[in-house]
């Protein structure tokens, strides 16, 4: 999108769980961008990795899970971003030019580091190498290797260059302390179930006060109380002073979710991640909370990443939609464009299953089959078993992400090579 500043840029993000039974690839190379002042919806069935995307951004992937590849650039200045993209192209060139022996070494290194495989791959044919590292899409491991070499030769005065080469704005290069000062302050998150997401033994005021004093350094009681009251008013709580004194169990579900939103917005974050914020609520309350979120996003000018499995919700709130399937983003487009021209068979299936207003359906059309097991590595498209338009190639090659019209990306072999006219 020309003219808009990216706030969060996720490139090739992969998150895996290392279990006794094997490796679960919850996120398999995700790319998307959240621009400033926009709401992006992430849609997909349960278990496709929506929450993991959110937790990965905050670097709070639980348990045996680890982010194994990719970048999460956050609030990267324009000049650094341009320089970094330049350098990435250079890295790609450099990789393409390097000899087969060197490639092998690099790929083995990358394969070892970024795919989480236990052993280094020994013998690789050129075709295998190209499969692991597609020449047009050199992954983080290799790029970072090249850039790190490059950064050493840069003069210290070249701050932009060094920041670009060292991925300084990549959240994955942050220390834990730096991450903590980002969480809740620059990026905050709302959880699905407000009933379990508030600490039951502290009052609303205490929990709000805690965040505000942590990120804004306000410790004075009166000022803090005033601030808490303001934030509660912001989320349209009628009697903030009363609610402040209450414990979570004394509040209704909708009220709790308002408090959660207050907690998330108390430090005016640039990005709000809302993970199914209305799923656990009554239908009437859902609408209220959605309206509230939409209005707050408009007035504060923050960006929002709205995660849901409900297309109706995103249609109402979001500017742009990413459709996820089995740990990958299969289609991304502006809301209107996506509803008008769904290109990926999975998106088309979702939309067909979604009853339109005023339309009566005797039977909901549901996509046949179930979500595949994420423990098994996919050779090709993850949707192949459920897809009615699948061809031979679908089971073998992973479809590339192509931009079929400006801002409309699809990963499907039906569309590979059919990039739109005014797209690079």
Partner 1 sequence: MEKLENPLPFHFICGTRPKHAEQKHLWTAADGGCKGKKSMADLISYVIRKILLAIPVILLATFIVFLMLYLTPGDPIVNILPPHASPDDIQKLREKYGFDQPFIVQYGKFLYRLAQGDLGQSVSRQTLNLDVSDLIIQRLPKTLELMAIGLTISYSLGIPLGVYSALKQNSWKDRSVMVFTLVAYAMPSFWLGILLMLLFAVYLGWLPIEGTVGGFKSIILPAMTLGLGNAALTTRMMRSSMLEVQRQDYITQLRSRGLPESEVIFKHALKNAMLPVITVIGLDIGWFVAGAVVVETVFSWPGLGLLVTNSITNYDYPTVQGCILVLAMFVVLGNLVADILYAFVDPRVRLG
Ligand X SMILES: Nc1ncnc2c1ncn2[C@@H]1O[C@H](COP(=O)(O)OP(=O)(O)O)[C@@H](O)[C@H]1O
Residues at the contact surface with partner 1, assessed by CB under 8 A: 58, 60, 62, 180-185, 188-189, 191, 193, 196-203, 205-206, 209-211, 213-215, 219-221, 224-225, 228, 241, 244-245, 247, 249, 260, 263
Minimum CB distance to ligand SF4 smaller for 37 or for 131: 131
> Of these partners, ligand SF4, partner 1, ligand X, none, which one is at the site of residue 46 (CB under 5 to 8 Å by kind)?
ligand X
Between the alpha carbon of residue 130 and those of residues 92, 93, 133, 137, 139, the distances in Å are 13, 14, 5, 10, 12
- Give the CA distances from residue 179 to residues 59, 176, 261, in Å, rounded to whole numbers and listed in that order: 8, 5, 21
| Minimum CB–partner distance for residue 206 and partner 1 (Å) | 4
Tokens 């993000």 — which residue?
13
**Beta carbons within 8 Å of 264's beta carbon, 6+ residues apart:** 184, 188, 189, 190, 272
Note the residues at the interface with ligand SF4 (CB under 6 A). 344-345, 381, 383-384, 387, 389-390, 394, 399, 412-414
Q: Binding to ligand X (CB under 6 A): which residues in 39-68? A: 44, 46-52, 62-63, 65
DSSP 390: -
Residue 261 interacts with which of ligand X, partner 1, Mg ion, none, CB < 5 to 8 Å by class: none
Q: DSSP 3-state assignment of 133? A: coil
CB of 50 to partner 1, least distance (A): 15
Give the Cα separation of 93 and 97 in Å (integer). Answer: 6
What are 91's two structure tokens?
Answer: 């890295």
CB of residue 332 vs ligand SF4: minimum separation in angstroms? Answer: 14
Task: For the segment 355-384, give every residue that binds ligand X (CB under 6 A).
Answer: 374
Nearer to ligand X, 19 or 423 (CB): 19
Of the two residues 133 and 224, which places its CB atom closer to partner 1 in the complex? Answer: 224
Taking the complex as a whole, the smallest distance from the CB of residue 370 to ligand X amounts, in Å, to 12
Rounded distance, CA 156 to CA 256, Å? Answer: 50
Per-residue b or e along 263-286, where b marks 16 or more CB atoms closer than 10 Å to that residue's CB: bbbbbebbbbbbbbbbebbeeebb
Q: Per the structure block, which two tokens stand in for 198?
A: 């508030």
Q: Which of partner 1, Mg ion, ligand X, none does residue 305 bind (CB under 5 to 8 Å by kind)?
A: none
Q: How far is the CB of 115 from ligand SF4 (least distance, A)?
A: 22
In the complex, minimum distance from the CB of residue 237 to partner 1, in angstroms, rounded to a whole number: 14
**Residue 3 touches ligand X, criterion: CB under 6 A:** no
Q: Are 58 and 21 in contact (CB under 8 A)?
A: no
Give which of Mg ion, ligand SF4, ligand X, none residue 401 binds (C-beta under 5 to 8 Å, depending on kind): none
Contact present, 331 and 344 (Cβ < 8 Å): yes
Whole-angstrom distance, CA of residue 53 vs CA of residue 275: 10
Which residues are at the interface with Mg ion (CB under 5 A)?
51
Question: By the criterion CB under 6 A, which residues form the site for ligand X?
Answer: 17, 19, 24, 26, 44, 46-52, 62-63, 65, 374
């Amino acid at each position: 999108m020309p003219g808009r500043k990216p706030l969060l840029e996720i490139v090739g993000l992969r998150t895996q769980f290392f279990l006794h039974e094997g490796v679960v690839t919850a996120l398999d190379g995700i790319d998307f961008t959240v621009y400033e002042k926009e709401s992006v919806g992430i849609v997909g069935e349960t278990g496709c990795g929506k929450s993991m995307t959110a937790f990965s951004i905050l670097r709070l992937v639980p348990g045996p899970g680890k982010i194994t590849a990719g970048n999460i650039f956050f609030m990267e200045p324009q000049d650094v971003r341009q320089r970094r993209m330049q350098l990435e192209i250079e890295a790609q060139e450099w990789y393409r030019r390097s000899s087969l022996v060197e490639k092998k070494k690099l790929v083995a290194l990358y394969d070892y580091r970024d795919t989480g495989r236990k052993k280094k791959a020994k013998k690789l044919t050129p075709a295998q190498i190209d499969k692991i590292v597609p020449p047009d899409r050199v992954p983080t491991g290799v790029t970072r290797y090249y850039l790190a070499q490059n950064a050493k030769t840069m003069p210290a005065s070249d701050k932009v260059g060094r920041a670009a080469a060292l991925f300084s704005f990549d959240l994955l290069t942050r220390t834990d302390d730096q991450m903590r000062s980002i969480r809740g302050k620059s990026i905050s998150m709302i959880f699905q179930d407000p009933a379990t997401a508030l600490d039951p033994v502290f009052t609303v005021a205490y929990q709000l006060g805690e965040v505000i004093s942590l990120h804004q350094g306000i410790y004075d009681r009166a000022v803090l109380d005033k601030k808490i009251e303001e934030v509660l008013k912001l989320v349209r709580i009628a009697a903030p002073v009363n609610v402040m004194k209450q414990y979570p169990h004394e509040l209704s579900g909708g009220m709790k979710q308002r408090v959660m939103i207050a907690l998330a917005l108390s430090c005016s974050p640039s990005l709000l991640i809302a993970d199914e914020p209305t799923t656990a609520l009554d239908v009437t309350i859902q609408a209220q909370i959605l309206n509230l979120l939409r209005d707050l996003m408009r007035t504060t000018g923050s960006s929002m990443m709205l995660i849901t499995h409900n297309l109706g919700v995103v249609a109402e709130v979001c500017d742009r939609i990413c459709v996820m399937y089995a740990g990958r983003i299969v289609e991304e487009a502006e809301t209107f464009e996506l509803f008008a021209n769904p290109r990926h068979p999975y998106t088309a299936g979702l939309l067909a299953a979604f009853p339109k207003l005023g339309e009566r359906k005797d039977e909901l059309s549901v996509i046949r089959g179930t979500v595949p097991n994420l423990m098994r590595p996919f050779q090709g498209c993850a949707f192949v078993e459920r897809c009615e338009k699948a061809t031979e190639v679908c089971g073998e090659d992973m479809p590339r992400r192509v931009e079929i019209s400006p801002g409309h990306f699809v990963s499907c072999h039906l569309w590979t090579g059919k990039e739109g006219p005014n797209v690079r």
